[in-house]
Each structure stands twice: as C-alpha cells, then as structure tokens.
Amino acid sequence: MLGLSALVLLSGCSTLKFVYNQADEAVYWWLDSYVDVTDMQKSLVKDTLRKLHHWHRQTELPEYAALLQKVRAMAPNDIQPEQVCAISQDIQNFLVRVLHQVEPEATQLISQLSDAQLQRVRKKYDKLNQEWREDFWEGSEEKRLRYRNKQLLNRLEDFYGSLDTPQREMVQQWLLKSTFNPATSFKERQRRQADALQTLSRIAHGGSQPSNVSQSQLRAWVDRSFTPPDEAVHAYNQTLKQENCEGFAKVHNSTTRAQRERLADNLRNYENIVQSLVLKK
C-alpha cells in the first residue's frame, strides 16, 4: 500500500496479491514495531489504514497498472538512462501521494505520542542503523561489495532470469565505479532520523497548536526526506540516482530477446494482478 514498487521488489507474482490484500494489517504491525501503539490509539490507526487501503485500491492502483503497462511496452527495446530515472520518479511520486493522503490522520496520531513512544522510535532507529552498518559499512570493502552485488543480481534475475557472465561482470563494474560512500550515506540516514524525531516531538508537544500547522510541519519533513537541505548531500544523492539509471539501462540493453520477453511476461503478470485488485468506484 505504501508503494507497489516495494511490494514488487519484495514479493513474487504468486504472493503479491496476498501481500497487498493484507497491507493494512502489515502496515499496522510495522508501525506498532516503532511506537508500540496503545489501546486508545489502536482504533484510530486501524480505521485510518482501512480507509487508506480502500482509497489506494480505487485511486492509485489504476495508476500503477498504467505505469506497468508503460514499462512493459519499453521492455523489448533498448532504453536510455533518462527513461529509467523518469520511471523512478513516478514511483517516488506515488509514495508521496500516499503520505499526503494520510496527513490529517497521521498528524492526529503523532499528537498523541508519549515520550516513551518517541524513545521507542529512537531505539528502533538505533537497531536498524546497526543492521545497516553491518551490511553496508563494516567489514572489508570486498565483503560490502559482495553483499551489494548479491542484492542487485537477485533483483535483476527475478525479472530477467539468469544473467550470463559478461552481464554479471557488467553489474559488478557498475557497483565498483559507484560513488556510493557508506559514511556519507549513513550520515544522511542519521540526519533524516534526527529530523523525523524532532518533527514528531514538535507535533506531539504542540499542545493546542492548530492542526494545519502540524500538518505543514509533517509535509515539510516529508519534503526534506526526499530533498536533503545540505546541497552537497543532495548532489551526492542525485549522482547515485543517475549512476543507477545508467547502470540499469546498460544492463537492460545487454539482454537477449529471451530475457526481454521474460521481463515483459513478468510485468504483464504484475499488471494483471494489479488490475484484479482495483476497487471500482
């Protein structure tokens, strides 16, 4: 529900429908893992997620199906990095629309968070940061590269099928030449988390602050999450995005007719599933 792209990447065709149908419950338990939802907050959260899921099925899924159809039409041909970046931006826009849709209810929930719940969010961030460090920063450079390479290969082969040796070498060169810097990425990760905690605390302790002010604070935080205020970090992120668009385009353009047909078939399957999930108005 918070982004079909995430479901597509995490779920196979056979499980996507089940995952999406349970999305409101899944998101509830994800949220609960961060804040430990109280009994008084539970009805607000569950009702909000049910309504959001209903809206998403009616309004957003047709847009997802259209995007999948657009990408499927591109599959048989060579592509340019600009096309990849445009699709990536479309996916980001979907996520932002969901966040904007739930702003009033999210603001209401945040205003009810206790100091203990805010502290739980901080501890959750600490736990996730340690996991991130273990995967992307700690250990030898070779170990880190091997982990990233495996992740990327698995994702690509889910759609294209097995890649041959030259294609695998191309993926490795893509990562080797990347400007990805774990220290820079981790610092920005911490910046976003600190910003989130400050925003949550400001709204939670806002007292009689008008709801529109709190919503504006929440929206500003979302904007900063996607566009870092530090120009150097923003430039770094944009460089990484461009490299990924170029890397993906290069790999796609190296694929065989059979691999492209498999990609098109997978996209068609996803499109059919999404269409079957659309709730008619």
pLDDT of residue 56: 94
Rounded-to-integer distance, Cα 115 and Cα 19, Å: 33
pLDDT of residue 19: 85
Instruction: Retrieve residue 48's tokens.
Output: 């909000």
pLDDT of residue 8: 44
pLDDT of residue 10: 40
State the Rg of the chain over Cα: 20
Q: What residue spans define the domains of the chain?
A: 4-277
**Phi/psi at 119 (nearest 5 deg)?**
-65, -35
Rounded-to-integer distance, Cα 266 and Cα 127, Å: 35
Q: Where are the alpha helices (DSSP H) in the chain?
A: 4-10, 13-21, 23-35, 39-55, 61-74, 81-101, 103-111, 115-136, 141-160, 165-176, 182-204, 211-226, 231-253, 257-277
Low-confidence ranges of the chain (pLDDT < 50): 1-11
Instruction: Retrieve residue 15's tokens.
Output: 């499980």
pTM as predicted = 0.90
pLDDT of residue 2: 36
pLDDT of residue 1: 35
Question: Which residues make Cβ contacts (< 8 Å) with residue 167, sequence separation at least 6?
Answer: 251, 254, 255
